[in-house]
Amino acid sequence: MSSDLDVVERLRTDPAPAMHVALADVLAEGRRRHTRRMASRLAIVVAGAAAAAVVAVVVLGPDDRGTTTPPVGTTSSTAKDLSISGEAGTELPDDHGSYSVVVDAGNLHAWVTRDLDKESSTVVLPSGAAWVKLPGTQDVPVLLGVVPAGATDIDLVPAPGTRSHTVQTVQSGDFEAFVVRFDEPLADGQLTGVDLQWRQGGRTVVALGTDPQRVEFDVAGAGRLAVSMSSPRAGAVTATLDGAPLGPEPVVGDTPGTRYSVGKHALADGRVLVWGVIPQLSSVTPVTKPGASAGAAATRPLGEHPAYLAYAAIVDGSASDVTGIRTVDRSGAGIGQAE
Amino acid sequence: MKPSEEAAFEQFAAHAMPRLLRTAWLLTGDPTRAEDVVQESLVRMFGVWPRVGHDEPEAYCHRILRNLVVSTWRKDRRLVLVDHVRDDVDPRSQVDPGRRATDDAGTRLDLVRALQELPAREREVVVLRHYADLSERAVAELLGVSIGTVKSSASRGLERLRALISDKGEAHVQ
């Protein structure tokens, strides 16, 4: 290969595999999404079976709104099944475009319509609330999400460092969509710890990032593992092994069906505990270098309404021998691998 | 979308698809993933066509495509670590018109493998600048880096790629 020009020529001329995209499929899917957005804008499409979301929440007294940040871990609750099903969507106008949310089968999908590749999804909490952070105009992020229909006075839970902001809402079938805009750019991570509150039925309700999904189980030969993850932040997962903290480990992936995390912990006996979370209805296998071997992974649902499974597996080998995990869904299709 | 706008989009998509497919293949090393990424890119392009269709739509679509590719790298890094080169070569379908198919499957393998050996930034710059023919400014804006970084990454990337390809059959990716 004599020159850069030769390399460039090969980039342009080397034979490629036969690849094909059906333009008819592109047009059909494009029209489908366009129709969905337009229908949402004009009215609201709610599937017939969409029952009202039952609200399970921390309930503060009617008069104590805004007086304090609710205690962590007191969420409790009364409520049960979240029955948002089918699909509902709406748009919130912005000076330079709009924000769209769609609730579909218990998942919130949100995106900026001026820049459709900026999409984010998360799981709707038992409280009926969900929110995600998306880029807004002028590099100022926004929080975009939903709370159950009938909610009023939606706002952030007051917290030190919370910047000046405005909240705009749009009623949409069995939920209320909202967007929180900040008046100035925020430092990275400043929205990580945001909780949300609203008024409903004469009470103040707090939807909590501090509404953790958690499970404990024994890992043979390693100890008792407790795995916790907060939603909808779901940015990281933490754990303890016999009380000793592990993590936090980032949760990666774009949608609830593809998000996972991987943590490695060297055990005293020289083996490695591989732990983390994977989507529900999936399975996981540690991937190791030759010479190391992984035992079968144990999985447990992460909480009462799990979108994730906690998993743990023991690897005979060092931490550097563990190169990642292989995760497959129920059909056997690979959905992710770390490292 | 108006019928005239949809017709214009269809014309754009048909024209741009071969180049988008090859760009995606060079970036991912995986023809199946390339097809998926291009399909999703075009679907998303359809959604914004009335707003962006008159302003360098191919560059915009490459931007969507690149973001999707990066997203898949993050989602499933395994796929850039294994060899997914398919055997069903159809040089006529994806080599740009007027350009010739010069090599066999072995060299194709070398090229794809060598590209996957480059750091992600260099791979993106080399492919977007020297295959997709985006300007240095467009690549810089797309990747969020300076034009100087584009120039240096392109230079280093081509140099590295040349060395890897010259080392015939040794560009292993395990």
The tens digit of pLDDT for each residue in B71-122 reads: 665 544 433 333 333 344 443 334 333 333 334 455 555 788 888 888 888 9
Q: Does B96 touch chain A (CB under 8 A)?
A: yes
In this structure, the answer to whether residues A217 and A203 fall within a common structural domain is: no
Query: A153 and A239 in one domain?
Result: no
A299 and A315 fall within a common domain: yes
Compute the distance between CA of residue B108 and CA of residue B114 in angstroms, rounded to an integer: 10
Q: Which domains does chain B have, with CATH numbers?
A: 3-166 (1.20.140.160)
Please indicate, yes or no, whether the overall pTM of this predicted structure exceeds 0.90.
Answer: no
Does the distance separating the beta carbons of A29 and B89 come in below 8 Å?
no
Using one digit for the tens of pLDDT, what is the confidence trace for A213-258? 678 888 987 888 988 776 544 567 778 888 777 877 878 876 667 7
pLDDT band at A193 (very low <50, low <70, confident <90, very high): low
Residue A115 structural domain? 51-207
Question: Do A87 and A163 fall within a single domain?
Answer: yes
Q: C-alpha distances in angstroms, B6 versus A323, B65, B140?
A: 47, 20, 30
With residue B103 as reference, give the H or E element that holds it. none
Last residue within a domain, chosen from A161, A188, A207: A207
A192 and A293 both lie in a single domain: no
Round to whole Å and give the CA distance between B49 and B16.
14
Q: DSSP per residue over A21-86, as a string?
A: --HHHHHHHHHHHHHHHHHHHHS----TT-PPPPP--EEE-TT-TTTSPPPTT----S-------S
User: Identity (one letter) of the amino acid at A299?
Assistant: T
Q: Looking at residue A138, what DSSP letter applies?
A: G
Alpha carbons A152 and A165: distance in angstroms, whole number: 17
Comparing CB atoms, the residue among A7, A13, A337 nearest residue B102 is A13
Does residue A156 lie in a domain region?
yes
* Whether residues A64 and A203 fall in one domain: yes
Which of these, A3, A11, A13, lies nearest to B130 by C-alpha position? A11
- Across the strands, what pairs with A240? A226, A245
**Minimum-distance CB partner of B162 among A4, A20, A252:** A4
* Mean predicted confidence (pLDDT) in A267-272: 88
Report chain B residues whose CB lies below 8 A from the CB of A339.
77
